[in-house]
Amino acid sequence: MEDTADPERHYALFGDYFDGEDLWQRVLDEGGIDPDEPICLLIVTLLHFMPDERHPERPLAYYRAQLPPGSLLALTHVSLNTEDDEVQDAFRTVAGQYTNRATLPLTQRSRDEIVALVGDFEFVEPGLVWLPDWRPESTDTIDAAEANIVGGVARKPV
């Protein structure tokens, strides 16, 4: 952000995702958003580091409720959606190695679980897809499903 951000439009705050009321109030206090105008909330590379027992859906529901109608929610999440035992085993190995070095485990969720996180927001085209399939502009030939990360943008109904 230091080199490319517009300080009139972009800023970052250090905060606790799970303390939604405090974090949201700090955003408002900074004056970085107009709470009556649609915004885009980025929840990327975050939710798969939050195990189910922490209930990451609760603060996300709070944030969604604060967003004005027409706002966007962009999210990414690790997701395998395969019955292939070899792929599942490989993911468990990588997740175990990560968890041994980190403070939180890597949690994969199904597409249905990820869709549930956006509540009544509606995905815009192309929907919740493998990241390489989201507005592909590259000629890289990566198999999208090998990315094991899905992403999408959902709009709050007006």
Architecture of the domain delimited by 40-155:
3-Layer(aba) Sandwich (3.40)
Two structure tokens written together for 126: 């192309």
Q: Sorting pLDDT into bands at 50, 70 and 90, what band is 10?
A: confident
**Res 28: pLDDT:** 93
Domain boundaries, the chain: 40-155
Q: Sorting pLDDT into bands at 50, 70 and 90, what band is 1?
A: low
Q: Sorting pLDDT into bands at 50, 70 and 90, what band is 156?
A: very high
Identify which has the larger pLDDT, 46 or 85. Answer: 46
Two structure tokens written together for 43: 């929840």
* Predicted confidence (pLDDT) per residue in 80-117, tens digit: 766 777 877 887 788 778 778 877 788 889 889 999 99
Task: For residues 61-75, give the mean pLDDT.
Answer: 98
* Predicted confidence (pLDDT) per residue in 133-142, tens digit: 887 676 666 6
**Res 4: pLDDT:** 80
Strands (E), 8-148: 40-43, 72-78, 122-123, 129-130
pTM of the model: 0.84
**Res 66: pLDDT:** 97
Taking the C-alpha atoms of residue 57 and residue 116, their distance in angstroms, rounded to an integer, is 9
Least confident of 73-77, 129-133, 154-158: 129-133
One-letter amino acid at 123 equals: F
One-letter amino acid at 35 equals: P
